[in-house]
Structure formats: C-alpha cells, structure tokens
C-alpha cells in the first residue's frame, strides 16, 4: 500500500468514526474522530497526490453527509434548549469579532 493510500485510508476511517459518533450521540467519540479527520486532512494537504482525486471526491461526499447530520443534531439541540427556556447561541459575530448571544428566556411555569 502506498503512503498516499494509507493517508486516504486514515481519512476514510476518521469519517466513518465521525458518522458513528454522530449517530450514537457520543460527544467524546465525535471530538476524537473530528480531530483525527483534521489531522488526516492536514497530512493529505502536505503530500498532495493526483492519484487520490477520485477517492477524495468520494470522501468529500461522506464529509458533506456528516455535516448535514451534524446540522440536524444542532437544530434538535437548539429546539430542545429553546423549549426549556435556555439561551440559544447564535453563530453571528459582533463588530469586535466576538460571538453575540441572544439573552432570551422562557418561563416554564407561572406560580
């Protein structure tokens, strides 16, 4: 097996692990697999190979699918937080480069 193929296999394993973590709601495994995915991508960027263009395209599709699954999980969490009266973080940045947070709360019951 070539070094390029080994790097590609490392990325494929990381993407599969990331998907399993997303499906299993395993935050620790998600953090590990995402770190491994980023390391594998950095390694592929340092040693580009034209022979990997096709397989990289297929792995890019897997990465997009994982991203869609992650976005769905985020919407579910935000929905639950909103209904529990928690503040929902916003992805926007203010003029100073900091993220802004909406200060909204919701009463769960009135006594």
Does 109 reside within a domain? no
- Confidence (pLDDT) at 1: 62
- Confidence (pLDDT) at 64: 95
Does 47 reside within a domain? yes
Residues of 64-98 as b/e, b for ≥16 C-beta within 10 angstroms?
eebeeebeeeeeeeeeeeeeeeeeeeeeeeeeeee
- Confidence (pLDDT) at 111: 60
Whether residue 68 has pLDDT greater than 90 = yes
| pLDDT band per the 50, 70, 90 thresholds, residue 94 | low
Highest-pLDDT range among 26-35, 48-57, 81-90, 98-107: 26-35
Does 110 reside within a domain? no
Does 65 reside within a domain? yes
Q: How many domains does the chain have?
A: 1
Mean confidence (pLDDT) of the chain: 83
Does 107 reside within a domain? no
Does 9 reside within a domain? yes
Whether residue 52 has pLDDT greater than 70 = yes
Does 111 reside within a domain? no
Does 106 reside within a domain? no
| pLDDT band per the 50, 70, 90 thresholds, residue 61 | very high
Which residue range(s) make up the domain with 31?
Answer: 3-101
Average pLDDT in the 43-71 region? 87
């Amino acid at each position: 097996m070539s070094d390029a193929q080994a790097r590609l296999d490392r990325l494929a394993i990381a993407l599969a692990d990331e998907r399993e973590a997303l499906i299993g709601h395993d935050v620790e495994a998600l953090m590990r697999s995402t770190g491994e995915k980023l390391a594998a991508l950095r390694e592929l960027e340092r040693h580009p190979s034209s022979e990997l263009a096709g397989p990289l395209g297929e792995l890019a599709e897997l990465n997009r699918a994982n991203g869609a699954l992650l976005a769905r999980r985020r919407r579910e969490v935000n929905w639950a937080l909103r209904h529990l009266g928690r503040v929902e973080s916003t992805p926007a940045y203010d003029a100073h480069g900091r993220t802004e947070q909406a200060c909204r709360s919701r009463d769960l019951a009135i006594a």
